[in-house]
Amino acid sequence: MSTTGSPASASEMIAVSGSTTLLNLNMSNVTKLTASNFLMWGRQVRALLDGYDLVGYLDGSVTAPPPTITTEGVVTTNDAYVLWKRQDKLIFSALLGAISVSVQSLLSKANTTAEIWETLTSTYANPSRSHVQQLRQQLKLWKKGTKAIDVYFQGLTTKFDQLALLGKPLEHDEQIEFILEGLTDDYKKVVDQIEGRDKSPSLTEVYEKLLHQENKLAAQTESSPSLPVTANVANYRGNNNNNNARNHGRQNNRGSNGNETSA
C-alpha cells in the first residue's frame, strides 16, 4: 500500500519497494482503553486510522488477499498478502499498546486488527438487555459523596455515552434526574433551582452550576476556623469564667469575715 504526507512525529514510514510503503502508527497520544471508556477510545482510534486511510483494517473491509498465487501450476507467495499482513501486524501492535493490561486479557485469541476490534465491540458495545440494566444500576449507585464534582459528573456522563452507544440513550430529563439525585445536601440550593425551572438546563449548564457551588463551599471552609481552635477558645473562656467565680467567692468571704470582726 502507498501512504504519503504522514507527519514524522505521529508515525514512521517503512519503505518496502518502489512507491509501496508501510505505516508504523504511533498511538502514544491515544488514551489507554479501560473497561469504562470504550466510546471515546474507539472514536480516537477510528479517527487516527481513518486519517491515514487505514480504517479498513479495523472494520474488516480491507480483507486479506490469498496467501499464495498459482500461475500455470506453480504456487508462489502472494506479495499483496505479505504487505497486508505486515501492515495489519503494525496496526495490531499499536492497538495493543493503547489498551490497558487489564483489558488485554480479553484479546488472547485475536490474531488480526479486525479481530481485536470485533472482540472489543462485542464486549463493550453489546446492546444486550443485561448490559443495559447493569449500566442503569451503576447510574443509580453512583453518588457524589466526597468525590469532586469533576469526578462525579464524568462518572455519570460516561455511562450516558455508553448507553447511547448501545442504542439505549437516556432522555435528557432522565439524565438530569440521575445527576441531581446523587448529590449531597450541600447542593440542595442548586437542586431546588434546577427542579423549579420549567425547562431543563443543558448538561453543561448543570455542570457549571455544580462547580460554582463546589467553589463556594470550598471558600466557606477556608474562611471558617477549624474545630480544634474553636474548642480551645471555648475552653479558655470557660476557664476564665471559673477563675473569676473563684476569685469573686474569695473576696466575699474576706468581706464577710471583716464585718464579723468589727461587730
pLDDT of residue 162: 84
Q: Which of residues 247 and 34 earns the better pLDDT score?
A: 34
pLDDT of residue 11: 66
pLDDT level of residue 64 (50, 70, 90 thresholds): very high
pLDDT of residue 237: 46
Domain chopping of the chain, boundaries: 11-124, 129-223
Is the pLDDT confidence value at 81 over 90? yes
Q: Which of residues 261 and 203 earns the better pLDDT score?
A: 203
pLDDT level of residue 1 (50, 70, 90 thresholds): very low
Q: Output the DSSP codes for the chain.
A: -------TTTEEEEEEETTEEEEEE--TTSPPB-TT-HHHHHHHHHHHHHHTT-HHHHHS-SPPPPSEEEETTEEEE-HHHHHHHHHHHHHHHHHHHTB-HHHHGGGTT--SHHHHHHHHHHHHS---HHHHHHHHHHHHH---TT--HHHHHHHHHHHHHHHHHTT-PPPHHHHHHHHHHT--GGGHHHHHHHHTSSSPPPHHHHHHHHHHHHHHHHHHHHHSPPHHHHHHHHHHHHHHHHHHHHHHHHHHHHHHHHHHHH-
Is the pLDDT confidence value at 207 over 50? yes
pLDDT tens by residue, 179-203: 999 999 999 999 999 999 999 999 9
pLDDT of residue 230: 46
Predicted TM-score (pTM) of this structure: 0.58
pLDDT level of residue 227 (50, 70, 90 thresholds): low
